[in-house]
Amino acid sequence: MNDINSFLSRLNSTINFSTILPEIILIVGLITIVITDLVNKGKNAIFLYKIFLISTLVSMGILFYQLISVIAFEDLYTNNIFNNLFRFFILICSFISVLLSVDYVLCSKISLAEFPLFKISAGLGGMILSCATNLITIYVSLEFLALSSCFLSGYTKRDIRSNEASMKFLLMSGASSSSLLYGFSLLYGFSDGQVQLDNIIDKISFSQYLPIICISAAFILAGTAFKLSLFPFHQWTPDVYEGSPTRVVAFFSVTSKVAALSLFTRLFRLIFPYLSNEWHIVVELLAISSMILGNLIAVTQRSFKRMLAYSSISQIGYVMIGILAADLENGYASMLTYTFIYIFMNLGTFARITPFSLRTGTNNIRDYAGLYMKDPVLTFSLVLCLLSLGGIPPLSGFFGKHYLFWHGWKAGLYISVTVALVTSVISIYYYLKIIKLMLTKTTNLVDTLKTYEKQKSLVSSVISTKLKSSVEMAMILCALASTLSGLFMDPIIKITRNTFF
């Protein structure tokens, strides 16, 4: 008993628990969900979603409070603004994607208690990944995120495409995280057994071990570029996005990319500053090829989800320019602003596809023809989000891209910015193609839309008004954020400015 007392007092003195309080609240929410589901024996699943929402909101509140102060948590975390902003982004992603998936409860026959469990655990993994400064914490939280995303993507187990998607995701993420681990092991070995990122830079002597550092950088790049779906490592993205359920794709298309962005930036900024010329060139090449490839292949797609997968590959290419263009006075402002806007744009687009695929059961772009007549709200909000993704002026996507490219031009990345501008124009083509399809009245409607009206009434008698409005609330929230964030760019840029480390 004496030992426990002394241990607890030592624990309290060395570890300041208030810094990980948002994560602790998410963990409490996770355990509550498990216990509630056990007690309720599967009934009343909406209550579980309410628990999820409440815990996410409370975490966000505490994170807001902590954004003001910068505390260092022993060796494991540092809560500078960069990390806190990423945690906040991931909480926003979780919150909005839970709003999207509430209607899943009544509309499908499979058990649903595990769905919020996996979502909370993926959000938790992403949050801890955003602040980890320890090789071991990075690896464990990355695996946590990847494993939860994999279970989420295989959730509809009767659907064979979902099985295929989760198999592909599991195998490829396993291969990539093993290459990441190999890079980490090289760093661990040659820095005399240090696991902390700061200590690694202190102890490792760059001049002596330069080839080892280069090899380690290559392996770490391979491991993180998989999660970001950059060019040669993007092959899993279209199949996984097409196969998984739409709400799941909405969730992990933003969450895992945001978490992987923070990991990538932190690793390459902290560990390889002496190699910055080399890895800048490589990342620039990867970014250019992902932009070109993503946009060109997205033109030819016939399924909406696959097209969004390729377009998200190209969006990450744009964000890479932001990472490369970071300098002392602006920090990572361009990357963070664009990520913030990208979250809302992407989630907004998925928020529109979800009810559409629920009501008509199809994801083909051709079936969206003439949607304007059947459901104007959905059409206009989808139009806003797609235009924002493309980068058309009054919407926030334009301001995000403009700031990103201007920052990149100022930093001297002329080729990348030119390629990005050209490929943005190409992307406008395929977004506008969908918009034109939706807005034009066709004389003979597609079969799917003829049954749209009937199904809508059937579905709305099943879903209570409260649930239907949660998806619409998410839609409206994302539409507003996509439109109006452009007007509030200045405060956002000011917040994200001093994030250089």
Q: Decide whether 121 or 312 has the Cβ nearer to other proteins.
A: 121
Q: Report the site for other proteins in 38-77 (rule: CB under 8 A).
A: 74-77
Residue 120 identity? I
Q: Is 287 exposed, middle or buried (0-12, 13-18, 19+ CB in 10 A)?
A: buried
Between the alpha carbon of residue 302 and those of residues 150, 160, 162, 253, 389, the distances in Å are: 25, 20, 19, 19, 18
Q: Report the site for other proteins in 155-174 (rule: CB under 8 A).
A: 155, 157
As measured in angstroms, the least distance from the Cβ of 86 to other proteins is: 16
Q: Decide whether 117 or 308 has the Cβ nearer to other proteins.
A: 117
Which of 59, 94, 137, 246 binds other proteins (CB under 8 A)? It is 137
Listed ranges 115-123, 171-179, 337-345, 420-428: which one lies at the site for other proteins (CB under 8 A): 115-123
Q: What is the dihedral of CA 226, 270, 185, 187, to 10 degrees?
A: 140
Ramachandran category for residue 285: left, alpha or beta (phi over 0 → left; psi -120 to 50 → alpha):
alpha
User: What gap in Å lies between CA 344 and CA 488, rounded to an integer?
Assistant: 14
As measured in angstroms, the least distance from the Cβ of 140 to other proteins is: 4
Q: Decide whether 208 or 276 has the Cβ nearer to other proteins.
A: 208
For the stretch 364-383, what's the b/e string if a residue is b when 16 or more beta carbons lie within 10 angstroms of its beta carbon? Answer: ebebbbbbbebbeebbebbb
Q: Find residue 331's DSSP bridge partners.
A: 327
Q: Are 435 and 450 in contact (CB under 8 A)?
A: no
Contact flags string 415-434 toward other proteins, x per CB under 8 A: --------------------
Q: Decide whether 169 or 405 has the Cβ nearer to other proteins.
A: 169
Which of 60, 124, 259, 298 binds other proteins (CB under 8 A)? It is 124
Which of 121, 130, 176, 262 binds other proteins (CB under 8 A)? It is 121
User: What gap in Å lies between CA 38 and CA 164, rounded to an integer?
Assistant: 30
User: What gap in Å lies between CA 204 and CA 386, rounded to an integer?
Assistant: 47
Q: Decide whether 114 or 278 has the Cβ nearer to other proteins.
A: 114
Q: Decide whether 30 or 358 has the Cβ nearer to other proteins.
A: 30
Neighbours of 327 (CB within 10 A): 11
As measured in angstroms, the least distance from the Cβ of 302 to other proteins is: 29
User: At 132, phi and psi to the nearest 5?
Assistant: -75, 135
> Is 14 near other proteins (CB under 8 A)?
yes
User: What gap in Å lies between CA 283 and CA 47, rounded to an integer?
Assistant: 45
> Is 369 near other proteins (CB under 8 A)?
no
> Is 30 near other proteins (CB under 8 A)?
yes
Which of 2, 43, 211, 329 binds other proteins (CB under 8 A)? It is 211
Which of 141, 337, 496, 499 binds other proteins (CB under 8 A)? It is 141
Listed ranges 100-108, 117-125, 249-257, 363-371: which one lies at the site for other proteins (CB under 8 A): 117-125
Tokens encoding 221: 């790049």
> Is 224 near other proteins (CB under 8 A)?
no
Q: Are strands 72-73 and 77-78 parallel, antiparallel or unpaired?
A: antiparallel
> Is 179 near other proteins (CB under 8 A)?
no
Residue 491 identity? P
101 contact partners, CB below 8 Å, separation of at least 6: 49, 115, 119, 247, 251
Which of 29, 123, 154, 370 binds other proteins (CB under 8 A)? It is 154
> Is 185 near other proteins (CB under 8 A)?
no
As measured in angstroms, the least distance from the Cβ of 68 to other proteins is: 23
Which of 84, 101, 134, 396 binds other proteins (CB under 8 A)? It is 134
Number of separate helices (H) and strands (E) present in the chain: 23, 2
> Is 215 near other proteins (CB under 8 A)?
yes
User: What gap in Å lies between CA 178 and CA 223, rounded to an integer?
Assistant: 8
Helix (H) or strand (E) holding 78: strand 77-78
Q: Decide whether 51 or 319 has the Cβ nearer to other proteins.
A: 51
> Is 85 near other proteins (CB under 8 A)?
no
> Is 136 near other proteins (CB under 8 A)?
yes
Which of 90, 150, 248, 335 binds other proteins (CB under 8 A)? It is 150
Helix (H) or strand (E) holding 72: strand 72-73
Q: Decide whether 100 or 131 has the Cβ nearer to other proteins.
A: 131
Residue showing tokens 């995303």: 149
As measured in angstroms, the least distance from the Cβ of 66 to other proteins is: 16
Neighbours of 247 (CB within 10 A): 26
Q: Which of 63, 55, 46 is nearest to 26 (CA)?
A: 55
Listed ranges 8-16, 249-257, 369-377, 442-450: which one lies at the site for other proteins (CB under 8 A): 8-16
DSSP letter for each residue of 37-51: HHHHTT--THHHHHH
Listed ranges 11-19, 249-257, 367-375, 427-435: which one lies at the site for other proteins (CB under 8 A): 11-19
Give the residues lining the site for other proteins (CB under 8 A).
7, 10-11, 14-15, 20, 27, 30, 34, 74-77, 110-111, 114, 117-118, 121, 124-125, 128, 132, 134, 136-137, 139-141, 143-144, 147-148, 150-151, 154-155, 157, 211-212, 215
